[in-house]
């Protein structure tokens, strides 16, 4: 099979679908790899990293889309890319079709067999191809929050770990899933005093078992959230209700109860945000002030650390990619119902019931 990897064209996207290490494994399994020139540059992988392990370099996207049996990407195909997809070809990438009727229509029209990273499942009921990006965003949250806390950036001028004789910053993390746990670990590692609030008792039992002593847990009732945010220097929003918009857990009126120039980092902004005053920002202009409270709400946080994110994503996608290449997509999804959960479109048929429901289409 010829596995093709085009350069991402979505603005500010520096990740690449195939690392040289992953490409080497694909080649070791007897397949060919075709990478568009410059595809890996944003993640620190020049063309010769790919040619060194036996991949071929294509001069443009057309050559990759024309020749490849399977296209491996990061972001959903943009309109120009969708025109190059065809029946008989497999597309393996993030799709996020539910809010995107134009893309869904184009994929159906192309006939491509599209498998979405974000709906592939695992035995524990998790989303193994989404988790690496949540890990990255979670670990970044205290880092960007600490920067925002600096006086020159509008924050309270509080150091995360304090110094001898001066106490640490108080960090409150709302949502103790993948993002929240990684955020809490890093904030605690920086020396902050950290509390994680969640509504899931099993999750808090797990966090307490594993991290008791490193950070505290508390049930996410409205009263507890109100008490915690009044004392916080930084609040990280990390909740998720699968398939739904994030609940608004801090209102605009509550901002006046917070310490002046405290910082809100809303990681859940890609699901609409969990603070009433959140609106999506970009890496170019990441923070803004509402009523004296600094907000950081970048919707694609992993893009800030494209190299780490690319490698983390590649580690997670590789076993699925090898199964698709070795067995062909039909046998691969018969053998693995978790990969089957990613199948979204095939030869003009929508195969994802949740997407059908969201877009009012037959699936
Ligand atoms: P997850 O499912 O692992 O964790 C979500 C947690 O939220 C769960 O533990 C759940 O019990 C808890 N929760 C749900 N409702 C709650 C409530 N009302 N109060 C308190 N806790 C509540 O999800 P995740 O992978 O950690 O993702 C969290 C959010 O981060 C999602 O919205 C995800 O899309 C987003 N995310 C954003 C970026 C970015 O770049 N901005 C990157 C990755 C993930």
261 within some domain: yes
Yes or no: say if 145 and 264 are a contact pair by the CB < 8 Å rule: no
Separation of 175 CA from ligand 1 center, angstroms?
A: 6
Catalytic-labelled residue, pool 270, 295, 336, 346? 270
Cα of 143 to ligand 1 centre, how many Å?
18
Q: Let me know if residue 126 belongs to a domain.
A: no
Mean pLDDT of 53-68: 98
ipTM of the complex: 0.99
Q: Would you say residue 160 lies in a domain?
A: yes
Give the mutation target among 96, 134, 237 for probing the ligand 1 site: most ligand atoms within 8 A of CB. 134
Residue 67 bears catalytic tag: no
Same domain, 7 and 73: yes
Residue 321, both tokens: 């990619």
Of 299, 320, 335, which residue constitutes the final position of a domain? Answer: 299
Q: Is the pLDDT of residue 242 over 80?
A: no
**284 lies in the same domain as 314:** no
Tell me the residue range of the domain where 163 lies: 131-299
Among 111, 116, 171, 175, CA closest to 144: 171
For position 243, what pLDDT does the model report?
Answer: 66
Q: How confident is the model at residue 197 (pLDDT cuts 50, 70, 90)?
A: very high
Q: Which of 336, 305, 280, 355 is nearest to 132 (CA)?
A: 305
pLDDT at site 358:
82
Residues 279-307 have pLDDT tens digits of 999 999 999 999 999 999 998 999 999 99
Same domain, 266 and 321: no
Concatenated DSSP letters for 310-357? HHHHHHHHHHHHHHHHHH-HHHHHHH-HHHHTTEEEETTEE--HHHHH
Can you tell me the mean pLDDT for 177-201?
98
The pLDDT value recorded for residue 228 is 98
Which mutation among 74, 180, 204, 239 tests ligand 1's pocket best, with the greatest number of atoms within 8 A of CB?
A: 239
Cβ atoms of residues 8 and 38 within 8 Å: no
Distance CA 363, CA 356 (A): 5
74 vs 300: CA distance, rounded Å: 12
Q: How far is CA 162 from CA 157, 194, 293, 329, in A?
A: 11, 13, 21, 54
Same domain (yes/no): 261, 154: yes
Mean per-residue pLDDT for 335-361? 93
CATH of the domain at 135: 3.40.50.720
Structural domain total, the chain = 2
- Of 252, 280, 299, the residue that ends a domain is 299
Judged against a pLDDT cut of 80, whether residue 108 lies above it is answered with yes
Residue 96 bears catalytic tag: yes
Q: Which residues contact 227 (CB under 8 A, 6 or more apart)?
A: none
Q: Rounded mean pLDDT of 218-227?
A: 98
The pLDDT of residue 360: 87
Report whether pLDDT(354) > 90. Answer: no
Backbone angles phi, psi at 138, to 5 degrees: -65, -45
Q: Which of 275, 299, 323 is the last residue of a domain?
A: 299
193 membership: H or E segment, kind and range? strand 193-198
Phi, psi of 241 (to 5 degrees): -115, 105
% of residues, the chain, pLDDT over 70: 100
Residues 103 and 25 in one domain: yes
Q: How far is the CA of 267 from the centre of ligand 1 (A)?
A: 8
Q: Are residues 83 and 222 in the same domain?
A: no
């Amino acid at each position: 099979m010829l596995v093709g990897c085009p350069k991402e064209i979505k603005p500010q996207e520096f990740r690449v679908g195939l690392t040289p290490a992953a490409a080497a494994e694909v080649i070791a399994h007897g397949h060919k790899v075709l990478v568009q020139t410059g595809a890996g540059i944003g993640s620190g992988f020049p063309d010769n990293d790919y040619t060194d392990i036996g991949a071929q370099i294509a001069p443009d996207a057309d050559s990759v889309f024309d020749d490849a049996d399977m296209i491996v990407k990061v972001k959903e195909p943009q309109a120009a890319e969708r025109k190059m997809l065809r029946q008989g070809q497999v597309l393996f990438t993030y799709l996020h079709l539910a809010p995107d009727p134009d893309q869904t229509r184009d994929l159906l029209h192309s006939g491509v067999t599209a498998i979405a990273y974000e709906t592939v499942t695992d035995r524990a009921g998790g989303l193994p191809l989404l988790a690496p990006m949540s890990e990255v965003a979670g670990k970044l949250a205290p880092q960007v929050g600490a920067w925002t806390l600096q006086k020159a950036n509008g924050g309270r001028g509080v150091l995360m770990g304090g110094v001898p004789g001066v106490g640490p910053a108080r960090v409150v993390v709302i949502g103790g899933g993948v993002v929240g746990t990684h955020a809490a670990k890093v904030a605690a590692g920086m020396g902050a005093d950290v509390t994680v609030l969640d509504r899931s008792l099993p999750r808090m039992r797990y966090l307490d078992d594993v991290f008791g002593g490193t950070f505290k847990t508390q049930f996410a009732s409205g009263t507890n959230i109100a008490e915690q945010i009044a004392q916080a220097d930084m609040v990280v929003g990390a909740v998720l209700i699968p398939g739904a918009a994030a609940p608004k857990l801090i209102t605009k009126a509550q901002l006046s109860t917070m310490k002046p120039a405290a910082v809100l980092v809303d990681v859940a902004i890609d699901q609409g945000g969990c603070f009433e005053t959140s609106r999506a920002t970009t890496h170019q202009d990441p923070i803004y002030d509402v009523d004296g409270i600094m907000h950081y709400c970048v919707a694609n946080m992993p893009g800030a650390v494209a190299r780490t994110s690319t490698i983390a994503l590649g580690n997670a996608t590789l076993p699925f990619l090898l199964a698709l290449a070795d067995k062909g997509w039909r046998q691969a999804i018969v053998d693995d119902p978790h990969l089957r959960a990613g199948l979204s479109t095939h030869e003009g048929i929508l195969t994802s019931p949740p997407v059908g429901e969201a877009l009012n289409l037959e699936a």
